[in-house]
Amino acid sequence: MDVHKMRFVSKKNITKLVIAIWLILWVNFILRDLIKKEDLEEYAALFKATREDRYSIVYGPRYYEFLKYAKNNIPKGSTYDFIDVETYSIDHRRGVYYLYPLLPEKEDPEYLLGYKTPAPDKDRYYLYKNTDAGYFLLKERD
């Protein structure tokens, strides 16, 4: 075997070739999925959107408006719990993230937050604030 041909088939060149093929395949799989599922337009819209618009897209417009309303109307340092959101669901986690530094609490929260159903009658709480959109905040009685 010729010495010049052996230099071409070195471990270094084989490694480069394997990595190049691997990268080409991954780029192909990613682009094919984006184009095939027509998600490319959605990702482009998300990329161009402002921070507020991204929250609205990801959280859903109604839920995001509700979270903004709650954050603007609950005093800092208060505790809260959601009425309409299942505990540990993705919406619950998103709400906790958005409302930080307010603290979620299952036992004896100061505020109950709701946006899907009418405000329920609770003995320990009274209607603190509500909107025409159906968002409401219940506050613990003193």
Confidence of residue 7 (pLDDT cuts 50, 70, 90): low
Closest CA relative to residue 140, chosen from 52, 79, 72, 50: 79
Residue 71 shares a structural domain with residue 29: no
Confidence of residue 5 (pLDDT cuts 50, 70, 90): low
Residue 105 shares a structural domain with residue 67: yes
101: left (phi over 0), alpha (psi -120 to 50) or beta: alpha
Residue 95 shares a structural domain with residue 134: yes
Q: Report the domain count for the chain.
A: 2
Say if CB 123 and CB 140 are below 8 A apart.
no
18-58, pLDDT tens digit by residue? 999 999 999 988 877 777 666 777 778 888 999 999 999 88
Residue 75 shares a structural domain with residue 116: yes
pLDDT of residue 3: 53
Residue 63 shares a structural domain with residue 127: yes
**54 falls within a domain:** no
Residue 74 shares a structural domain with residue 38: no
Residue 94 shares a structural domain with residue 113: yes
73-127, pLDDT tens digit by residue? 999 989 999 998 998 899 999 999 999 999 899 888 999 999 888 777 778 899 9
Please, what is the Cα angle at 29 between 26 and 32, to 5 degrees? 145
134: left (phi over 0), alpha (psi -120 to 50) or beta: left
Note down the domain range covering 72. Answer: 59-140
**53 falls within a domain:** no
